[in-house]
Amino acid sequence: MPAPTRRPLRPARRAADRLRGVWDRPLTAYALLLGSSLHLLVLGLVMVYSASQIQALRYGHDAAFYFRKQLLAAVAGGVLLLLAARMPLRAHRMTAYAVLIVTVVLLCLVQVPGLGETVNGSTNWIALGGSFQLQPSEFAKLALVLWGADLLARKHDLGLLTEWKHVLVPLLPCALVLLGLVLIGGDMGTSVILCCALLGMLWTIGVPTRFFGLTLGAVAALCVLLIITSGHRMSRFACVGAVDPGPHDECWQAVHGLYALAAGGVFGSGLNTSTQKWGELPEPHTDFILAITGEELGLFGTLTVLALFALLLAAGLRTASRAEELFVRLAASGITLWIAVQAVINVGGALGMLPISGVPLPLFSYGGSALLSLMYAVGVLVALSRTDPSTAAALTDWRRSRTAGIKRVQTGVGTQAETGRRT
């Protein structure tokens, strides 16, 4: 009886197998983290320059005013990213406590009259002189994730996480202090991100589901209370799903964001050709930079930005899922969830599906404090990905092969030069 012939693989299955093979390579997460974040940063700088020119001229600055500030923050953030990527885990765990203490002090200073500055109804900034401001609430996310991950990892090593009091104390009280200081400043968007990062880390260590039911119920009740007691927040929620500015233009910003996205079509009108940024759409370089991107680069440009975020988040989840140390798993999942929730809040606001919260699009929108904290966080993710033994071995092999290649090139050049002199 003849042996049965093997049926050839279908093209879709072959493509899936090939993609799975690429995904399982040791350097995939490392390359995706660096590649996607740097692509978002560069494209974000281009769009900040395009979206902010009219806004800068309106306030008496030159057209490149906001771009220069963002570029300066990007350069400083690049230094922080490289520093964080090269730091060992022990150094990250030690500095987490210093970051937490400094952040709490700065959040307290924001509420000191004469030091804190109020912008669009929120008191979240400290003036540094000139036109530079610092937003401590952006660093609260980084502080909570790194400190919380180290605290839970230490308690796990001591076998203390089997008791409720060790799971929640002092993690929960410290998180509530950060939340309270951020809410006093009026930044509800950052408070939501802090809550999600905290719950994500607790989920990672295996806290029972009933705890999340009670916690989410309490958080939802608090959010409803904060919304109904603030006319400003109520007006933002009233504009969710709006397609008309309203009789008093109360939904002007949300609707004109949709106008910008709709006007771009598939490939957009071209860089620096947006009409909505000429006074029609407030905050075009911060909250609604995705809308300007959609108008100038079209659906193709918008989907490219979303695809870059998807790659970044996938690499973060891969790092967390393959980690052997609890600190690596908690920190990677916390940072990834922070970026994901912040991106969803911003994109949802630009699409009219969520209330406008003032939360910047990670690595993309204008905002020096947000960019510095996020680039440092990406550097931490890169450092965490290098803890995978296969990744570390692949990086070592790559460096050796690169060094050997450089030496071969130098030797060849030297040999040719010596031959020339003899001739």
279-292 pLDDT, tens per residue? Answer: 888 889 999 999 99
**What band does 417 get if pLDDT is binned at 50, 70 and 90?**
low
Is residue 298 pLDDT above 80, yes or no? yes
Instruction: Specify if 16 maps to a domain.
Output: no
- Residue at 415 is within a domain: no
pLDDT at residue 419, as a whole number: 60
Six-digit token string for 250? 């109360």
Q: Strand, helix or coil at 202?
A: helix
User: For residue 167, what pLDDT band results from cuts at 50, 70 and 90?
Assistant: confident
* 359: pLDDT strictly greater than 80: yes
Domain count, the chain: 1
Q: Work out the average pLDDT over 232-244.
A: 77
Let me know if residue 280 belongs to a domain.
yes
Burial class (CB in 10 A: 0-12, 13-18, 19+), 248: exposed
User: E strands within 259-396?
Assistant: none
The token duo for 18 is 């090939």
Query: Is 359 within a domain?
Result: yes
Contacts of 173 (CB under 8 A, 6+ apart): none
Confidence of residue 351 (pLDDT cuts 50, 70, 90): very high
The predicted pLDDT at position 64 comes to 95
Per DSSP, what are the bridge partners of residue 125?
117
| Residue labelled with tokens 């988040």 | 313
Could you tell me the residue range of the domain that residue 99 belongs to?
27-385
Identify the three-state secondary structure at position 186: coil
Residue 49 lies in a domain: yes
Establish if 149 belongs to a structural domain.
Answer: yes
Q: Give 67-136 as a 3 state SS string.
A: HHHHHHHHHHHHHHHHHHHHCCHHHHHHHHHHHHHHHHHHHHHHCCCCCEEEECCEEEEEEEECCEEECH
Residue 150 within a domain: yes
Lowest mean pLDDT among 128-132, 143-147, 153-157, 245-249: 128-132
Nearest-CA neighbor of 313 among 381, 359, 366? 381
pLDDT band, very low/low/confident/very high, at 348 (cuts 50, 70, 90): very high
Percentage of the chain exceeding pLDDT 70: 93
> Quick one: pLDDT band at residue 125, thresholds 50, 70, 90?
confident
Question: Using 50, 70 and 90 to split pLDDT, how confident is the model at 48?
Answer: very high
pLDDT at 404: 76
Question: How does residue 115 score in pLDDT terms, banded at 50, 70 and 90?
Answer: confident
Q: Tell me which amino acid residue 60 is.
A: G
**Contacting residues for 419 by C-beta, under 8 A, at least 6 apart:** none
Under DSSP, the state recorded for 354 is S
pLDDT-derived band of residue 232, with 50, 70 and 90 as boundaries?
Answer: low
Query: How far apart (Å, rounded) are the C-alpha atoms in residues 164 and 351?
Result: 41
Stretch among 29-38, 219-228, 393-402 having the lowest mean pLDDT: 219-228
Query: What tens digit of pLDDT does each residue of 334-346 get?
Result: 999 999 999 999 9
| pTM score, whole prediction | 0.91
- Residue 420 covered by a domain: no
